[in-house]
Amino acid sequence: MSSGSPLRGAGMSSGSPRPHADPGTAPRPERRVGAARLDGLGTTVFTEMTALAVRTGSINLGQGFPDTDGPSSVIEAAVLALRGGENQYAPLPGVPALREAVFEHQRRNYGLEPEDVLVTFGATEAIAAALLALCDPGDEVVVLEPYYDSYPACIAFAGARRRQVTLRPPEFALDADALRAAIGPRARVMLLNTPHNPTGRVLDRAELELIAAACVEHDLVCLSDEVYEHLVYEGEHIPPATLPGMAERTLTISSVGKSFSFTGWKVGWCSGPADLVAATRTVKQYLTFAGGTPLQHAAAAALRLPSTYLEALRGELLGRRDRLCAGLVAAGLRPFVPAGTYFVNADVGTDAAAFCAELPERCGIVAIPTSVFYDDAAAAPTLARFAFCKREEVIDEAANRLAGLPSAQLRQ
Percent of the chain with pLDDT over 90: 83
Least Cα distance to 74 among 350, 355, 267 occurs for 267
- In sign, the C-alpha dihedral spanning 179, 252, 268, 323 is positive
Task: Tell me which of 83 and 17 has the higher pLDDT.
Answer: 83
DSSP state of 77: H
- With vertex at residue 208, the alpha carbon angle to CA 206 and CA 213, rounded to the nearest 5 degrees, is 95
CB 114 within 8 A of CB 93: no
* pLDDT surpasses 60 at 22: no
* pLDDT surpasses 70 at 333: yes
CB 116 within 8 A of CB 275: no
B/e letters for 379-397, b = 16+ CB within 10 Å, e = fewer, are bbbbbbbbbbbbeeebbeb
* Residue 225: count of CB within 10 angstroms of its CB: 28
CB 256 within 8 A of CB 97: no
The CATH 3.90.1150.10 portion of the chain extends over 45-69+308-410
Rounded CA-CA distance 173/370 in Å is 16
Average pLDDT (113-125) is 98
* pLDDT surpasses 90 at 402: yes
Q: Domain spanning 72-304 has what CATH number?
A: 3.40.640.10
| pLDDT (0 to 100) of residue 32 | 73
Confidence of residue 296 (pLDDT cuts 50, 70, 90): very high
| pLDDT (0 to 100) of residue 262 | 97
**230 contacts: CB under 8 Å, gap ≥ 6:** 237, 258, 259, 310, 313, 314
Instruction: List, in sequence order, every beta strand (DSSP E) within 52-98.
Output: 59-60
The CATH 3.40.640.10 portion of the chain extends over 72-304
Which DSSP helix (H) or strand (E) runs through 387? Answer: strand 383-387
CB 280 within 8 A of CB 272: no
- With vertex at residue 150, the alpha carbon angle to CA 148 and CA 155, rounded to the nearest 5 degrees, is 115
Rounded CA-CA distance 313/305 in Å is 12
Q: What is the pLDDT of residues 144-196, one digit of tens each?
A: 999 999 999 999 999 999 999 999 999 999 999 999 999 999 999 999 999 99
Instruction: List, in sequence order, every beta strand (DSSP E) within 200-359.
Output: 221-225, 250-255, 267-272, 334-336, 343-347
* pLDDT surpasses 70 at 120: yes
| pLDDT (0 to 100) of residue 321 | 98
Q: What is the pLDDT of residues 92-109, one digit of tens each?
A: 999 999 999 999 999 999
| DSSP secondary structure of 103-167 | HHHHHHHH----SEEEEEEHHHHHHHHHHHHH--TT-EEEEEES--THHHHHHHHTT-EEEEEE-
Rounded CA-CA distance 164/404 in Å is 39
| pLDDT (0 to 100) of residue 167 | 97
CB 260 within 8 A of CB 266: no
Q: Which fold has domain 45-69+308-410?
A: Aspartate Aminotransferase, domain 1 (3.90.1150)
Q: What is the pLDDT of residues 216-236, one digit of tens each?
A: 999 999 999 999 999 999 999
CB 149 within 8 A of CB 371: no
- In sign, the C-alpha dihedral spanning 361, 362, 368, 369 is negative
Q: What is the pLDDT of residues 37-90, one digit of tens each?
A: 878 777 777 777 778 778 888 999 998 999 999 999 999 999 999 999 999 999
Q: What is the pLDDT of residues 354-365, one digit of tens each?
A: 999 999 999 999
| pLDDT (0 to 100) of residue 6 | 29
Average pLDDT (313-322) is 98
Which DSSP helix (H) or strand (E) runs through 54? Answer: helix 45-56
One-letter amino acid for residue 286 of the chain: Y
* pLDDT surpasses 70 at 10: no
Rounded CA-CA distance 62/68 in Å is 16
Task: Tell me which of 7 and 305 has the higher pLDDT.
Answer: 305
Is beta strand 383-387 parallel, antiparallel or unpaired with respect to 368-369?
antiparallel
* pLDDT surpasses 60 at 376: yes
Q: Taking all residues of the chain, what is their mean pLDDT, rounded to a whole number?
A: 91
Is the previous residue joined to 146 through a cis bond, with omega within 30 degrees of 0? yes
- Full-prediction pTM beyond 0.85? yes
CB 237 within 8 A of CB 194: yes
Task: Tell me which of 290 and 409 has the higher pLDDT.
Answer: 290
**322 contacts: CB under 8 Å, gap ≥ 6:** none
Confidence of residue 13 (pLDDT cuts 50, 70, 90): very low
Average pLDDT (392-410) is 83
| pLDDT (0 to 100) of residue 232 | 98
Average pLDDT (8-25) is 43
* pLDDT surpasses 70 at 317: yes
Least Cα distance to 79 among 274, 298, 287 occurs for 298
| pLDDT (0 to 100) of residue 158 | 97
